[in-house]
Amino acid sequence: MVTERKNIDETWLNRLKGSRAIWPLLALAVILIVDGFISPNFYDIRIVEGRLFGNLIDILYRATPTAIVALGMAVVIGTKGIDLSVGSTIAIAGAIIAWRIHAGDSHFAILLMALGAGIACGVWNGFLVAGLGIQPIIATLILMVSGRGIGMLINLFYGGTDPSFESALLQGLSTGHIWLIPTRIIVGLAIFAALWLVLRKTALGLFIEAVGGNAAASSLAGVNARIIIFVAYIVCGLLAACAGVILTADTHTSDPVSVALYIELDAILAVVIGGGSLAGGRIYLGMTVIGALVIQALTTSILISGLPPEYNLIIKALVVVFVLLLQSKNVRALFSKKAARPSP
Amino acid sequence: MNMNASTPRVEMRGICKAFPGVLALDNVNLTLMPGEVHALLGENGAGKSTLIKILTGASTKDSGEILLEGKPLSFQTTGEAQALGISTVYQEVNLIPAMSVTKNLTLEKTVGRFGMISWRKAREMAREKLRRLKLDIDIEQAVGSYSVAVQQLVAIARALDDDTRVLVLDEPTASLDAQETAALFDIIRDLKSRGIAVVFITHFLDQVYEISDRISVLRNGNLVGTGLAKDITRNELISMMIGRELGEVEATFAAKSNATKGEPVLVAEGLGRKRTLKPFNLTLRAGEAVGLSGLLGSGRTELTKILFGAIRHDSGTLSVGGKSVGRSSPRYSINSGIAFCPEDRKAEGLVGELSIRENIVMSMQAKRGWLSRVPRRDQERLAEEMIKALAIATPNADKPVGQLSGGNQQKVVLARALASQPSILLLDEPTRGIDVGAHAEIITLIRELCQKGLALLVASSELDEIIASSDRVAVLRDREKIGEIEGADINREKIIQMIAGDDGH
Amino acid sequence: MSLKTILAGSVFAMASFAASMAGATTIGFSQVGSEGDWRPAFSKNMQDTAKDYDVDLKFADAQGKQEEQLRAVRAFIAQGVDAIIIAPVVVTGWDDVLQEAKDADIPVFLVDRDVEVKDKSLYVTRISADFNLEGRLAGAWLAAASKGTCKIVELQGTTGSAPAIERKKGFEAIISQFPAMEIVATQSGDFTTEGGKKVMEAFIKSTNNLDGICASFAHNDNMQLGAIQAMKEAGLKPGQDVLMVSVDYVPAIKDALAKGEANASVELRSAVGGFIYPVVLDYLKNPHELDKWIVIPSDLHTAKD
The pLDDT of residue A2 is: 40
pLDDT for the residue numbered B313: 92
Torsion of Cα atoms, B204 then B209 then B214 then B219, to 10°:
30
Q: Please tell me the predicted confidence (pLDDT) of residue A304.
A: 81
pLDDT, tens digit, 9 for 90 and up, residues C33-71: 876 667 888 888 999 999 899 999 999 988 878 888 999
Given this structure, which CATH class describes domain B10-242?
alpha beta
Task: Say which CATH superfamily domain B243-337+422-505 falls into.
Answer: P-loop containing nucleotide triphosphate hydrolases (3.40.50.300)
Average pLDDT rounded to a whole number, residues A95-121: 92
pLDDT at residue C66 in the model: 84
Q: What fold characterizes domain A59-327?
A: ABC transporter involved in vitamin B12 uptake, BtuC (1.10.3470)
Neighbours, chain C (3 or more CB pairs < 8 A): A
What is the DSSP code string of A32-98? HHHHHHHSTTTT--EEETTEEESHHHHHHHHHHHHHHHHHHHHHHHHTT---TTHHHHHHHHHHHHH
Say whether pLDDT at A16 is over 60.
no
A201–B366 C-beta distance less than 8 A = no
Chain C residue with minimal CA distance to A52?
C234
Residue B454 contacts residue B425 (beta carbons within 8 Å): yes
Q: What pLDDT band is residue C14 in, cutting at 50, 70 and 90? A: very low
Phi, psi for C210 (deg, rounded to 5): 55, 35
Q: Å from A1 to nearest chain B CA?
A: 26
- Please determine, for residue A8, whether its predicted confidence score (pLDDT) is greater than 50: no
Q: Does residue C224 carry a pLDDT above 70? A: yes
Q: Give the whole-angstrom CA distance, residue C81 versus residue C20.
A: 10
Q: In this complex, is the C-beta atom of C208 within 8 Å of any C-beta atom belonging to chain A?
A: yes
Q: Which of A54, A55, A255 sits opposite C192 (nearest CB)?
A: A255
**Confidence class for position A202, pLDDT limits 50, 70, 90:** very high
Closest Cα in chain A to B420: A221
Q: How far is A263 from chain B (nearest CA, A)?
A: 29
Same fold, B10-242 and B243-337+422-505: yes
Q: Å from A215 to nearest chain B CA?
A: 8
CA B458 – CA C262 distance, rounded (Å): 82
User: CB–CB of A220 and B330 under 8 A?
Assistant: yes
Tell me if C2-129+270-297 shares its fold with C131-267: yes
pLDDT at C1: 44
Bigger pLDDT: C226 vs C162: C226
Give residue C112's pLDDT. 85
- Of the candidates B2, B6, B11, the one whose C-alpha atom is nearest the C-alpha of residue B66 is B11
Quick one: pLDDT at residue A246?
A: 93
Contact B351 A217 (CB under 8 A): yes
pLDDT confidence band for A276 (50 / 70 / 90): confident
Report residue C190's pLDDT band, with 50, 70 and 90 as the boundaries: confident
Measured between CA atoms, how close is A326 to chain B, in angstroms? Answer: 21
**What pLDDT is recorded for position B21?**
62
Compute the mean pLDDT over every residue in chain B, rounded to the nearest whole number: 84
Tell if the CB–CB gap between B370 and A203 is shorter than 8 Å: yes
Q: Give, in order, the Cα–Cα distances in Å from C119 to each of A324, C70, C95.
A: 52, 18, 8
The verdict on B367 touching A (C-beta cutoff 8 Å) is yes
Does C220 contact chain A (CB < 8 Å)? no
Provide the 3-class DSSP secondary structure of residue B26: strand
Q: What is the pLDDT of residue C305?
A: 65
Q: Mean pLDDT highest for which of A16-20, A174-178, B369-373?
A: B369-373
Looking at residue C218, its pLDDT comes to: 96
Q: Rounded to a whole number, what is the distance in Å from the CA of B412 to chain A's nearest CA? A: 12
Judging contacts by C-beta atoms under 8 Å, the chain A residues touching residue C188 are 309, 312
pLDDT at A255 over 90: no
DSSP state of C234: T
**Which chain C residues contact residue A252 at CB under 8 A?**
229
3-state secondary structure of B13: strand
% pLDDT > 70, chain B: 90
Which residues of chain B are modeled with pLDDT < 50? 1-4, 249, 252-254, 257, 503-505
Average pLDDT, chain A: 85
> What pLDDT shows up at residue C2?
47
Q: B358 and A206 in contact by Cβ < 8 A?
A: yes
Pick the CATH number of C2-129+270-297 from 3.40.50.970, 3.40.30.10, 3.40.50.2300, 3.40.50.620: 3.40.50.2300
Distance CA B152, CA B166 (A): 17
Q: Which residues on chain A place their C-beta less than 8 Å from a C-beta of chain C?
A: 39, 41-42, 48-49, 53-55, 58, 62, 161-162, 164, 174-175, 247, 250-253, 255, 257-261, 299-300, 303-304, 306, 308-310, 312
- List chains touching A (3+ CB pairs under 8 A): B, C
* Buried/exposed C183-194: b ≥16 CB within 10 Å, e otherwise: bbbbbbbbbbbb
Task: Give the pLDDT of residue A157.
Answer: 81
> Which residue did the predictor score with more confidence, B389 or A289?
A289
Q: How many CA atoms lie within 13 A of C41 on its CB side?
A: 15
CB contact under 8 Å between A210 and B335, yes or no, is: no
Task: State the Cα–Cα distance between residues A271 and A264, nearest whole angstrom.
Answer: 11
Q: Please determine, looking at this structure, whether the domain spanning C131-267 carries the CATH number 3.10.180.10.
A: no
Chains A and C form CB pairs within 8 A to the count of: 84
Q: Rounded CA gap, C163 and C169, in Å?
A: 10
Nearest CA in chain B to A282: B353
> CB–CB of A49 and C251 under 8 A?
no
Q: What angle do CA A11, A17, A22 make, to 5 degrees?
A: 135
- pLDDT band at residue C137, thresholds of 50, 70 and 90? very high
CB contacts of B369 in chain A (<8 Å) are 203
Alpha-carbon gap: A18 to the closest alpha carbon of chain B (Å): 15
What pLDDT score was predicted for residue C250? 84
C82-112 per-position pLDDT tens digit: 999 999 888 888 999 999 999 999 999 999 8
What pLDDT is stored for residue C19 in this prediction? 44
Work out the pLDDT band at A107, boundaries 50, 70, 90. confident
Burial C90-121 (b: 16+ CB within 10 A, else e): eeebbeebbebbbeeebbbbbbbeebebeeee
Using a CB-CB cut-off of 8 Å, the residues of chain A touching B301 are none
The three state secondary structure string of A175-236 is HCEECCEEHHHHHHHHHHHHHHHHHHCCCHHHHHHHHHHCHHHHHHCCCCHHHHHHHHHHHH
